[in-house]
Amino acid sequence: MTRFLAITRTEMLILRRNRWLLMATLIMVLFALALTFAGSAPTGTLGVDMLTVSVASMTTLSVYLAPLLALMIAFDAIAGDVDRGSLSLLLSYPAGRGEILLGKFAAHLAALAFAMTIGFGTAGAVAAWFGGAGPESLMALARLILTSILLGAVFLALGYLLSALARGATAAAGLSAGLWLVFVVLYDLGLLGAVVMDEGGTFTQSVFPWVMVANPADAFRLWNIAATEGVAMASGMTGAAQALPVWAAPASLLIWPILGFALARAAFRRVEP
């Protein structure tokens, strides 16, 4: 336990020292604030409070930003140590590989959680102050923050996986960019293409929602949208959410971090520094 904590503490120190924590928090605050003010126009037409609209906008933002920020920390976690030649030294100490990976994961996740909470929290507070908030929209904000942290956890784990598989930190960074593109952009484009080709056939009716929810980024979107009627209205994405049982999106988003971490752990076991 002390070893796990020692790794976590050191990783936190690194994130603070190289200003990653500051930059990530700043990015989150700025984007969330910008979206809250830019997206406040439809409040009147939809008849929901400003915080609800703000959460809908920030959900879309988080789909892109949470994976990106997570991958930005994770890609260096193993490959960077290999490059520096310090991994062999670290592994010659009594800490196990799982312990090392878990220690890094805890620190990185805490940093992400901090950036998310401050970023979305600030924007939410501003939206509530100017445009009002209700218990339902506050719940939506809390859900957004929690699911964003979960989404970050997924991509932290996947980032470690790539970091263990790649030869060197530069290659890991490249792979991470590719992974981000596939999960966040190309996957949806592919699905969209398939739905258009299918013209409302069986694929669109029964397969499509499941394929969609299998992607953690889409599961994140669906969870946030399905849970709040107002958010669903503001984002205009009710159709896909209604076709799935309520547990589908949360299950996907909860299974992915565990699956990703198990894969990363298995890949790390095979790394020969």
Partner 1 sequence: MTDKALSITQVSKDRGKTRVLDEITLSLAPGQRVALLGHNGAGKSTLIKSILGLTPIHDGTIRIGVAAPGSAQARRETAYLPEAVSFHPALTGREQLTLFAQLSGSKVDVPCLLDRVGLSDALDRRIGTYSKGMRQRLGLAQVLLGQPKVALLDEPTSGLDPISRQDLYAIIDELAGQGTAVLIASHALTEVEARTDRIAIMRKGRMVADDTLTNLSALAGLPIRLKVRASANPEALAAELGGKRINGASIEMLCTPDDKMEALRRIAGMGDAVADVEMTPPKLEDLYRHYAQEEMQ
Q: Which residues here bind partner 1, judged by CB under 8 A?
A: 2-3, 5-7, 9-10, 13-14, 17-18, 80, 84-86, 88-95, 272-273
Nearer to partner 1 by C-beta: 16 or 186? Answer: 16
| Residue reference for tokens 């980024």 | 217
Instruction: Determine the Cα–Cα distance for residues 227 and 231; give it in Å rounded to an integer.
Output: 8
Which residue, 74, 53, 55, 108, is CA-closest to 221?
55
Tokens of 186: 């190309």
Is residue 212 within 8 A of residue 191, CB to CB? The reply is yes
Which residue, 272, 259, 247, 225, is CA-closest to 52?
225
Is residue 225 within 8 A of residue 60, CB to CB? The reply is no
Nearer to partner 1 by C-beta: 170 or 205? Answer: 170
| Least spacing, CB of residue 161 vs partner 1, in Å | 20
Instruction: Determine the Cα–Cα distance for residues 193 and 62; give it in Å rounded to an integer.
Output: 24
Task: List Cβ neighbours of 52 (8 Å cut-off, separation of 6 or more).
Answer: 136, 137, 140, 228, 230, 231, 234
Task: List Cβ neighbours of 85 (8 Å cut-off, separation of 6 or more).
Answer: 273
| Least spacing, CB of residue 9 vs partner 1, in Å | 8
| Residue reference for tokens 């929690």 | 146
| Least spacing, CB of residue 68 vs partner 1, in Å | 21
Is residue 70 within 8 A of residue 152, CB to CB? The reply is yes
| Least spacing, CB of residue 169 vs partner 1, in Å | 12
Nearer to partner 1 by C-beta: 80 or 132? Answer: 80
Nearer to partner 1 by C-beta: 11 or 218? Answer: 11
| Least spacing, CB of residue 107 vs partner 1, in Å | 12
Q: Which amino acid is at 62?
A: S
Nearer to partner 1 by C-beta: 97 or 143? Answer: 97
Instruction: Determine the Cα–Cα distance for residues 137 and 104; give it in Å rounded to an integer.
Output: 34
Nearer to partner 1 by C-beta: 12 or 33? Answer: 12
| Least spacing, CB of residue 214 vs partner 1, in Å | 36
Q: Which amino acid is at 251?
A: A
| Least spacing, CB of residue 171 vs partner 1, in Å | 19
Nearer to partner 1 by C-beta: 13 or 246? Answer: 13
